[in-house]
Structure formats: C-alpha cells, structure tokens
Amino acid sequence: MITRHFYRFDEVRAALLYAIMRGRPLETAFWVQELGDSGLIKEAWTILVEAWLWFSLATDPNWICDIRLGSDDLQISAYRLCTNPKDNSLWATLVTQPHHDTLCRNLPLSMPPAGLERYFSLALFQRKGLAAIWAAEQLGAVVLPAECRIVATVLAACGLQAVSLSAQILFLCSRTDARPTVALPASIVDAVRQWTALVGRRSRRIFAIPLPCLYGLTERGRGVDTIAEFRRMDDRIREETTGFWPQALAPYQQGDPDAAFEAFYAAFFPDDIPDEWSAEEAAKSHGPALGSAESSLQRLGSLWFQAESRFVWGFYEWPAHRPSLPGSDFHHAARHLNTDHCDTVAALLDPVRKLLIVE
C-alpha cells in the first residue's frame, strides 16, 4: 500500500513504531500525520496499540483505557506513548519460558480454595506477572477480571489476539489509578499545521524512513529492492486496491481519458511526477534491498528491545546466536520464541529465580 505522499505503508508503520520507541516526538507526529492524510485512521490506531503493547504496557497501562479507536485523538495518544518511560515486559515474558515464582502471605479477600487456580489468583493479586502467565498456560483456560476486557476487545479489533492473554495479565499486574497529564507542545501543534498546508506537495516529504527500522518488519528490510517501484509511481498507485489511492482516483476514471489523465496529474503531482524527482528525494521512501528473507532474532532484539523489563528481572542481554525468524510482526515472532534457546534465557534469569512456595 502506498500512502498519500508516496511512502510504503509497511515502512511508515515501522518508522512510527521506531520513533515512539526512540522517544522522538516530532517524527512520531509526522508519521501519524502521514497516516491521517492517507485516510488510514484504523491502521494508525492499530500501530499505536502495537507500540503500547511492546513499549509502554507496564509503564502506562491506562493508556488503552483512555483511547477511543477511530477518533481524531491520534496525535495526543501517540505523543503520550512517545514520551512514556519504555518497558519491554511483554516481549521479555514471551521470549522467556514462563516459570513459577515465590508467593507471599499477602492474600486477597477471596480466592479459590486450593490448587493451581489458587496459585494463579495469588500471582495476579501479588502482581507476579510471569508466574501468573505460567499458571494460566498450565490451566489452559482462565477467567480474568472484567477490568481487563478492554484489553482483549482492543487487541481483537486490531488483530493482535496472539498475545492477548499475556497482555491482559501484565495489564492487571501493572494497573494503577495514576494517569499522566499530557498536552501536545506548541512546537508539535505548529508543525502539524505547517504540514497540513503542504498536503500533496513534494516538500511535505520532510522525514526519510529510518533505515534501522526496516530490518525484518518491511519488504525492503527482507531483501526486496523498491527503487523501480518509485520510478513508476504513477502506474503503481493505479494498481492499488486499498488505502488512499483507489478512492482518490475514482473521479478520474470517467470521461475523456486524456483530459482525466491531465487532471489527475495536476491534482496529485503538482510539483512534477516522482520519476523526475532526484535520487535524494526518492531515497526518503524507496531504496535498495536490506537484510534477507529471514531475520536474526538477536538483531531484531538489539534494535527494538533494549529497555528494562519490569516483570522479567535481568533480561537485558541477547545470546550470541539465535535462529532465523519467519514473519514480519513482533506478535507473530513471539509465538515461536518460547521454544528457542530456553536454556540460554534461563541462564540469564537464574540469579533471581526462586522456589515455588504457596501458603
């Protein structure tokens, strides 16, 4: 899919996640605005939910309760994620083989009388996220408190069910009444206003796609050269079946073909057509192939997941070797991680692991 200003959608997604992860508010606002200009509001919200899952679930659990999917609150919601402290607990719990942990005598008012159900209830109450995930997986089916239904509902709407159980449990273990007070800085508001005035212009392409974010998550980052696509952009957008361009092109499909062709160019290529743009300008959104068809888990982790992990103490290192990784999304990758190099991951956690004690 091609966005309004001729970026590839998969690369805009990666660039937005990267800007949020790196704490870059202006770039975050830019990529959110590009998605908004392209009419990709649902897709933008899905990317923000992904960013919350991987980078802010444990530090700002209430973010998911405060958003309104489909609303025009994209910029403030993205800015809040961007400026939050970062935590990689969800990724770390998925990478790590879940295990039991010590529970204390801090008991809820009511709980199951005995067995693994009791352990699960205690782990949730004492906010032992990794232990609660372990118990939930052992039980196979668990009933979670109603307060986490919002997480399940939003993840289902965004197609992120693969990590829903772990996310709900970490949400419950992180939940507080505190909410950050967030307002968009004047500099961001002014920048968005300036970008809005440039919609459709070549000068609107202010930021280039950061090359590190492409690895493993985009076609270019999995070995696909995209230079030729840019040189035939006017034909490429006519081939689109979803996103901005099919609707934009609809009025130009009738009447005299030559006149419609000229009107289309005047409306959507006011500067000149992309195949006449400089190589420097083209490089902002297209370029030679990077990486290979399968990604290194070690490299993916070093690029995206170097923050602390509240629920997995000591998980700050990546082993020297990891197997290649299929797929293009973190949640798809995470489904394959628990069985890979469990001994290596366990060695990192040995200093803080305790014996199972249930009172």
pLDDT band at 329 (very low <50, low <70, confident <90, very high): low
**Residue 226 phi, psi dihedral angles, 5° rounding:** -115, 10
- Report pLDDT digits (tens) over 277-297: 888 888 999 999 887 777 777
The C-alpha atoms of residue 296 and residue 302 are separated, in whole angstroms, by 10
Question: How long, in residues, is the chain?
Answer: 359
| Residue 278 burial class via C-beta count within 10 angstroms: exposed 0-12, middle 13-18, buried 19 and up | exposed
Residue pair 25/185 in contact (Cβ under 8 Å)? The answer is yes
**Average per-residue pLDDT in the chain?**
81
**Pick from 287, 285, 296, 278: which is nearest to 224 by CA?**
287
Going by their DSSP bridges, the two strands 324-325 and 295-296 should be labelled as antiparallel
Q: Residues near 25 by Cβ (< 8 Å), separated by ≥ 6?
A: 79, 82, 83, 185, 188
* Range with the poorest average pLDDT among 48-52, 68-72, 267-271, 332-336: 332-336
The C-alpha atoms of residue 25 and residue 80 are separated, in whole angstroms, by 9
The C-alpha atoms of residue 105 and residue 263 are separated, in whole angstroms, by 74
**pTM for this predicted structure:** 0.85
DSSP3 helix / strand / coil % (the chain, rounded to 5)? 55, 0, 45
pLDDT band at 331 (very low <50, low <70, confident <90, very high): low
* Average pLDDT rounded to a whole number, residues 125-139: 85
Query: What ranges make up the beta strands (E) of 241-353?
Result: 295-296, 324-325
DSSP state of 86: P
The C-alpha atoms of residue 96 and residue 102 are separated, in whole angstroms, by 17
CA atoms within 13 A on the CB side of 262: 4
* Average pLDDT rounded to a whole number, residues 167-193: 90
The C-alpha atoms of residue 154 and residue 145 are separated, in whole angstroms, by 16
